[in-house]
Amino acid sequence: MPLPPWLKTRLGSGPDFSRLKEASRSRGLNTVCDGARCPNIGECWSRGTATFMVLGSRCSRGCRFCGVPAGRPEAADPAEPVRLASTLAEMGLRYAVITMVCRDDLPDQGAGHVAACLAAVKAACPRMAVEALVGDFGGDRRALRTVLSAGPDVLSHNVETVERLSLQARDRRSGYRRSLELLAASRELAPRVPTKSSLMLGLGETASEVAACLADLRSAGVTLLTVGQYLRPTDSARHLPVLEYVPPERFEFLKAEALGMGFVRVAAGPFVRSSYRADELSGALEGRREDRR
Protein backbone atom coordinates (compact mmCIF):
# COMPACT_ATOMS: atom_id res chain seq x y z
CA MET A 1 0.00 0.00 0.00
CA PRO A 2 1.66 3.29 -1.08
CA LEU A 3 2.10 6.05 1.46
CA PRO A 4 -0.38 8.93 1.14
CA PRO A 5 0.98 12.47 0.65
CA TRP A 6 0.29 13.55 4.24
CA LEU A 7 2.70 10.98 5.67
CA LYS A 8 5.86 13.02 5.28
CA THR A 9 8.13 14.30 8.03
CA ARG A 10 11.39 16.18 8.17
CA LEU A 11 14.66 14.62 9.23
CA GLY A 12 16.16 15.58 12.55
CA SER A 13 18.59 18.46 12.55
CA GLY A 14 19.82 21.37 14.60
CA PRO A 15 22.05 21.73 17.65
CA ASP A 16 19.54 20.33 20.16
CA PHE A 17 18.90 17.27 18.01
CA SER A 18 22.62 16.58 17.63
CA ARG A 19 23.27 17.19 21.33
CA LEU A 20 20.59 14.75 22.48
CA LYS A 21 21.66 12.10 19.99
CA GLU A 22 25.30 12.29 21.03
CA ALA A 23 24.56 12.47 24.76
CA SER A 24 22.21 9.48 24.78
CA ARG A 25 24.46 7.24 22.71
CA SER A 26 27.74 8.18 24.35
CA ARG A 27 26.35 7.42 27.82
CA GLY A 28 24.79 4.12 26.81
CA LEU A 29 21.20 5.29 27.24
CA ASN A 30 18.33 3.94 25.17
CA THR A 31 15.77 6.31 23.72
CA VAL A 32 12.43 5.03 22.50
CA CYS A 33 12.79 7.69 19.81
CA ASP A 34 15.55 5.57 18.25
CA GLY A 35 14.54 2.12 19.44
CA ALA A 36 10.89 2.28 18.36
CA ARG A 37 11.71 4.16 15.14
CA CYS A 38 9.42 7.04 16.01
CA PRO A 39 8.67 9.34 13.05
CA ASN A 40 8.73 12.40 15.33
CA ILE A 41 12.36 12.04 16.37
CA GLY A 42 13.38 15.11 14.36
CA GLU A 43 10.68 17.39 15.76
CA CYS A 44 10.93 16.26 19.38
CA TRP A 45 14.73 16.19 19.63
CA SER A 46 14.97 19.55 17.89
CA ARG A 47 12.58 20.89 20.55
CA GLY A 48 14.90 19.57 23.27
CA THR A 49 12.53 16.87 24.55
CA ALA A 50 13.09 13.11 24.55
CA THR A 51 11.83 9.78 25.84
CA PHE A 52 14.33 7.51 27.57
CA MET A 53 13.84 3.76 27.73
CA VAL A 54 15.20 1.99 30.80
CA LEU A 55 15.77 -1.65 31.75
CA GLY A 56 17.58 -2.51 28.52
CA SER A 57 16.96 -2.44 24.79
CA ARG A 58 15.14 -5.80 24.45
CA CYS A 59 11.57 -6.41 25.56
CA SER A 60 10.36 -9.64 27.11
CA ARG A 61 7.16 -9.34 25.07
CA GLY A 62 6.66 -9.46 21.33
CA CYS A 63 3.82 -7.12 20.38
CA ARG A 64 3.19 -7.19 16.64
CA PHE A 65 3.08 -3.42 16.19
CA CYS A 66 6.27 -2.49 18.03
CA GLY A 67 9.75 -1.81 16.64
CA VAL A 68 11.57 -2.47 19.92
CA PRO A 69 13.50 -5.77 19.63
CA ALA A 70 11.93 -8.67 21.50
CA GLY A 71 13.85 -11.44 23.21
CA ARG A 72 15.60 -12.34 26.42
CA PRO A 73 16.35 -9.03 28.17
CA GLU A 74 19.81 -8.18 29.40
CA ALA A 75 20.43 -7.77 33.12
CA ALA A 76 19.19 -4.51 34.59
CA ASP A 77 22.02 -2.02 35.12
CA PRO A 78 22.01 -0.79 38.75
CA ALA A 79 23.98 2.31 37.68
CA GLU A 80 21.36 3.35 35.12
CA PRO A 81 19.29 5.60 37.44
CA VAL A 82 22.31 7.75 38.38
CA ARG A 83 23.61 7.83 34.81
CA LEU A 84 20.20 8.83 33.47
CA ALA A 85 19.74 11.54 36.09
CA SER A 86 23.16 13.09 35.54
CA THR A 87 22.67 13.06 31.77
CA LEU A 88 19.28 14.76 31.98
CA ALA A 89 20.69 17.36 34.38
CA GLU A 90 23.40 18.19 31.85
CA MET A 91 20.88 18.38 29.01
CA GLY A 92 18.69 20.87 30.84
CA LEU A 93 15.43 19.48 29.46
CA ARG A 94 12.10 20.88 30.66
CA TYR A 95 10.24 17.60 30.33
CA ALA A 96 11.29 13.99 30.05
CA VAL A 97 9.41 10.75 29.54
CA ILE A 98 10.86 7.64 31.16
CA THR A 99 9.53 4.48 29.60
CA MET A 100 10.48 0.84 29.93
CA VAL A 101 10.68 -2.46 28.14
CA CYS A 102 8.49 -5.14 29.69
CA ARG A 103 10.42 -7.28 32.15
CA ASP A 104 8.34 -10.37 32.86
CA ASP A 105 11.59 -12.03 33.93
CA LEU A 106 11.89 -9.87 37.06
CA PRO A 107 9.90 -10.53 40.26
CA ASP A 108 8.63 -6.95 40.40
CA GLN A 109 8.34 -6.60 36.60
CA GLY A 110 11.00 -3.88 36.74
CA ALA A 111 8.95 -1.49 38.89
CA GLY A 112 11.70 -0.93 41.46
CA HIS A 113 14.21 0.03 38.78
CA VAL A 114 11.76 2.44 37.13
CA ALA A 115 11.02 4.02 40.51
CA ALA A 116 14.75 4.40 41.18
CA CYS A 117 15.17 6.14 37.82
CA LEU A 118 12.28 8.50 38.54
CA ALA A 119 13.57 9.33 42.01
CA ALA A 120 17.11 9.97 40.77
CA VAL A 121 15.94 12.21 37.93
CA LYS A 122 13.60 14.22 40.14
CA ALA A 123 16.36 14.73 42.71
CA ALA A 124 18.88 15.87 40.08
CA CYS A 125 16.39 17.93 38.04
CA PRO A 126 13.86 19.46 40.46
CA ARG A 127 12.42 21.82 37.84
CA MET A 128 11.89 19.10 35.25
CA ALA A 129 8.49 17.47 34.88
CA VAL A 130 8.77 13.70 34.45
CA GLU A 131 6.27 11.31 32.90
CA ALA A 132 6.37 7.57 33.53
CA LEU A 133 5.23 5.49 30.55
CA VAL A 134 4.95 1.99 31.99
CA GLY A 135 3.96 -1.53 31.07
CA ASP A 136 1.11 -3.37 32.75
CA PHE A 137 3.36 -5.00 35.40
CA GLY A 138 1.49 -8.26 34.88
CA GLY A 139 -1.47 -6.75 36.72
CA ASP A 140 0.51 -6.37 39.97
CA ARG A 141 -0.85 -3.36 41.88
CA ARG A 142 2.15 -3.44 44.22
CA ALA A 143 4.44 -2.77 41.28
CA LEU A 144 2.27 0.14 40.17
CA ARG A 145 2.29 1.52 43.71
CA THR A 146 6.09 1.33 43.73
CA VAL A 147 6.32 3.52 40.61
CA LEU A 148 3.72 5.99 41.85
CA SER A 149 5.58 6.36 45.13
CA ALA A 150 8.47 7.91 43.18
CA GLY A 151 6.24 10.84 42.26
CA PRO A 152 5.83 10.95 38.48
CA ASP A 153 4.03 14.03 37.21
CA VAL A 154 2.05 11.89 34.74
CA LEU A 155 1.40 8.14 34.72
CA SER A 156 1.05 6.82 31.19
CA HIS A 157 0.10 3.37 29.93
CA ASN A 158 -1.01 2.62 26.39
CA VAL A 159 -4.09 0.58 25.55
CA GLU A 160 -2.70 0.60 21.96
CA THR A 161 -5.76 -0.61 20.02
CA VAL A 162 -9.44 -1.43 20.35
CA GLU A 163 -10.52 -4.45 22.36
CA ARG A 164 -11.27 -6.75 19.41
CA LEU A 165 -7.79 -6.29 17.95
CA SER A 166 -5.86 -6.37 21.21
CA LEU A 167 -5.08 -10.10 21.17
CA GLN A 168 -3.96 -9.86 17.54
CA ALA A 169 -1.72 -6.81 17.99
CA ARG A 170 -0.36 -7.22 21.49
CA ASP A 171 1.63 -9.95 23.20
CA ARG A 172 -0.51 -12.73 24.68
CA ARG A 173 0.59 -11.68 28.16
CA SER A 174 -0.96 -8.25 27.65
CA GLY A 175 -4.66 -7.49 27.79
CA TYR A 176 -7.09 -4.70 26.96
CA ARG A 177 -8.98 -5.04 30.25
CA ARG A 178 -5.76 -5.36 32.23
CA SER A 179 -4.58 -2.05 30.75
CA LEU A 180 -7.83 -0.36 31.75
CA GLU A 181 -7.53 -1.84 35.24
CA LEU A 182 -4.01 -0.45 35.62
CA LEU A 183 -5.10 3.03 34.55
CA ALA A 184 -8.06 2.95 36.93
CA ALA A 185 -5.84 1.67 39.75
CA SER A 186 -3.43 4.54 39.19
CA ARG A 187 -6.25 7.06 39.64
CA GLU A 188 -7.29 5.24 42.80
CA LEU A 189 -3.79 5.06 44.29
CA ALA A 190 -2.65 8.54 43.22
CA PRO A 191 -5.69 10.65 42.30
CA ARG A 192 -3.60 13.80 41.84
CA VAL A 193 -1.42 12.22 39.15
CA PRO A 194 -3.09 12.52 35.72
CA THR A 195 -3.25 9.37 33.63
CA LYS A 196 -2.60 9.17 29.91
CA SER A 197 -3.08 6.56 27.21
CA SER A 198 -2.55 6.14 23.47
CA LEU A 199 -4.49 4.55 20.63
CA MET A 200 -3.30 3.54 17.14
CA LEU A 201 -5.50 3.58 14.06
CA GLY A 202 -5.14 1.72 10.79
CA LEU A 203 -5.32 -1.88 11.99
CA GLY A 204 -8.89 -2.51 10.88
CA GLU A 205 -10.81 -0.95 13.76
CA THR A 206 -14.30 0.45 13.19
CA ALA A 207 -15.59 3.88 14.23
CA SER A 208 -17.88 2.32 16.84
CA GLU A 209 -14.98 0.33 18.30
CA VAL A 210 -12.87 3.49 18.60
CA ALA A 211 -15.74 5.29 20.31
CA ALA A 212 -16.13 2.38 22.74
CA CYS A 213 -12.39 2.44 23.49
CA LEU A 214 -12.47 6.16 24.25
CA ALA A 215 -15.46 5.62 26.55
CA ASP A 216 -13.60 2.82 28.33
CA LEU A 217 -10.58 5.07 28.86
CA ARG A 218 -12.74 7.85 30.28
CA SER A 219 -14.44 5.35 32.60
CA ALA A 220 -10.96 4.40 33.84
CA GLY A 221 -10.28 8.06 34.67
CA VAL A 222 -7.90 8.83 31.80
CA THR A 223 -7.75 12.55 30.99
CA LEU A 224 -4.81 12.77 28.55
CA LEU A 225 -5.02 11.03 25.18
CA THR A 226 -2.97 10.59 22.02
CA VAL A 227 -4.31 9.05 18.82
CA GLY A 228 -2.02 8.26 15.88
CA GLN A 229 -1.54 6.23 12.72
CA TYR A 230 -0.05 2.75 12.98
CA LEU A 231 3.05 2.52 10.80
CA ARG A 232 4.58 -0.89 10.26
CA PRO A 233 8.10 -0.90 11.78
CA THR A 234 9.49 -3.48 9.30
CA ASP A 235 8.31 -5.79 6.50
CA SER A 236 8.87 -8.77 8.78
CA ALA A 237 6.01 -11.23 9.17
CA ARG A 238 6.19 -10.43 12.88
CA HIS A 239 4.77 -6.97 12.27
CA LEU A 240 1.14 -6.42 11.30
CA PRO A 241 0.42 -4.78 7.95
CA VAL A 242 -1.26 -1.39 7.72
CA LEU A 243 -4.87 -1.86 6.62
CA GLU A 244 -5.74 1.84 6.32
CA TYR A 245 -4.00 5.19 6.21
CA VAL A 246 -6.36 7.40 8.17
CA PRO A 247 -6.73 10.92 6.70
CA PRO A 248 -5.90 13.97 8.86
CA GLU A 249 -9.50 15.18 8.92
CA ARG A 250 -10.62 12.01 10.70
CA PHE A 251 -8.03 12.62 13.40
CA GLU A 252 -9.40 16.13 13.82
CA PHE A 253 -12.89 14.68 14.19
CA LEU A 254 -11.71 12.20 16.81
CA LYS A 255 -9.93 14.93 18.74
CA ALA A 256 -13.12 16.97 18.93
CA GLU A 257 -15.10 13.87 19.88
CA ALA A 258 -12.64 12.95 22.65
CA LEU A 259 -12.64 16.46 24.10
CA GLY A 260 -16.42 16.33 24.09
CA MET A 261 -16.25 13.10 26.11
CA GLY A 262 -14.28 14.83 28.86
CA PHE A 263 -10.63 14.26 27.99
CA VAL A 264 -8.72 17.34 29.16
CA ARG A 265 -6.02 17.33 26.47
CA VAL A 266 -5.87 15.38 23.22
CA ALA A 267 -3.22 15.09 20.50
CA ALA A 268 -4.44 13.37 17.34
CA GLY A 269 -2.82 13.08 13.93
CA PRO A 270 -1.03 10.73 11.53
CA PHE A 271 2.37 11.16 13.22
CA VAL A 272 1.17 11.44 16.82
CA ARG A 273 2.67 8.91 19.23
CA SER A 274 2.24 8.44 22.97
CA SER A 275 5.10 10.81 23.80
CA TYR A 276 4.38 13.36 21.06
CA ARG A 277 4.72 16.87 22.51
CA ALA A 278 4.29 15.30 25.92
CA ASP A 279 5.30 18.55 27.59
CA GLU A 280 2.35 20.41 26.07
CA LEU A 281 -0.16 17.59 26.50
CA SER A 282 0.54 16.94 30.16
CA GLY A 283 0.00 20.46 31.47
CA ALA A 284 2.58 19.63 34.15
CA LEU A 285 4.76 22.54 33.15
CA GLU A 286 1.87 24.92 33.77
CA GLY A 287 1.84 23.71 37.34
CA ARG A 288 5.60 24.24 37.57
CA ARG A 289 5.20 27.84 36.43
CA GLU A 290 2.42 28.44 38.95
CA ASP A 291 4.54 26.95 41.75
CA ARG A 292 7.37 29.42 41.02
CA ARG A 293 5.13 32.49 41.19
CATH code, domain carrying 83: 3.20.20.70
Q: How confident is the model at residue 289 (pLDDT cuts 50, 70, 90)?
A: very low
How far from 234 is each of 175, 203, 205, CA to CA, in Å? 24, 15, 21
CB 130 within 8 A of CB 156: no
- The answer to whether residue 6 sits within a structural domain is no
CB 273 within 8 A of CB 38: yes
Q: How confident is the model at residue 293 (pLDDT cuts 50, 70, 90)?
A: very low
Averaged over 104-131, what is the pLDDT?
A: 96
Give which of 98, 94, 95, 74 is closest to 84, Cα–Cα. 98
- The answer to whether residue 286 sits within a structural domain is yes
- The answer to whether residue 197 sits within a structural domain is yes
Q: What is the structure's pLDDT at 23?
A: 61
- Give the C-alpha separation, 216 to 59, whole Å: 27
How far from 209 is each of 111, 166, 205, 214, CA to CA, in Å? 32, 12, 6, 9
- The answer to whether residue 216 sits within a structural domain is yes
Give which of 265, 83, 35 is closest to 156, Cα–Cα. 265
Averaged over 14-26, what is the pLDDT?
A: 61
Distance between alpha carbon 114 and the CA centroid of its chain, in Å?
Answer: 14
Average pLDDT, the chain: 88
Averaged over 99-110, what is the pLDDT?
A: 96
CB 271 within 8 A of CB 9: yes
Q: Could you list the residue range(s) of the whole structural domain that residue 201 is in?
A: 15-291
- The answer to whether residue 5 sits within a structural domain is no
Q: Where are the alpha helices (DSSP H) in the chain?
A: 15-26, 32-35, 41-46, 80-91, 111-124, 141-148, 163-169, 176-189, 207-219, 248-261, 278-282, 284-291
Neighbours of 293 (CB within 10 A): 4
Compute the 3-state secondary structure of the chain and give helix, strand, coil in percent, each to the nearest 5.
40, 15, 45
- The answer to whether residue 10 sits within a structural domain is no
What letter represents residue 82's amino acid?
V
Q: What is the structure's pLDDT at 25?
A: 61
Longest CA–CA span in the chain (Å) reads 54
Q: What is the structure's pLDDT at 281?
A: 85
Q: What is the structure's pLDDT at 279?
A: 83
Domain total for the chain? 1
Q: What is the structure's pLDDT at 94?
A: 82
Q: How confident is the model at residue 150 (pLDDT cuts 50, 70, 90)?
A: very high
Residues 6+ apart with CB under 8 A from 71: 58, 59
* Burial call 167-176: b when 16+ CB within 10 Å, e when fewer: eebbbebbbb
How far from 210 is each of 51, 117, 237, 246, 262, CA to CA, in Å? 26, 34, 26, 13, 15
**49 compared with 172, residue with greater pLDDT:** 172
Q: How confident is the model at residue 28 (pLDDT cuts 50, 70, 90)?
A: low
**188 compared with 6, residue with greater pLDDT:** 188
Q: Is the pTM of this model over 0.75?
A: yes
Query: In the predicted model, is pLDDT for residue 267 greater than 90?
Result: yes
- The answer to whether residue 9 sits within a structural domain is no
Least confident piece of the model among 67-71, 201-205, 208-212, 272-276:
272-276
The model's pLDDT over 131-149, given as tens digits with 9 standing for 90+, comes to 999 999 999 999 999 999 9
**226 compared with 19, residue with greater pLDDT:** 226
Q: How confident is the model at residue 274 (pLDDT cuts 50, 70, 90)?
A: confident
Residues 6+ apart with CB under 8 A from 189: 141, 144, 145, 148
Output the CA angle 193-158-26, nearest 5 degrees. 90
Q: How confident is the model at residue 43 (pLDDT cuts 50, 70, 90)?
A: low
Query: In the predicted model, is pLDDT for residue 271 greater than 70?
Result: yes
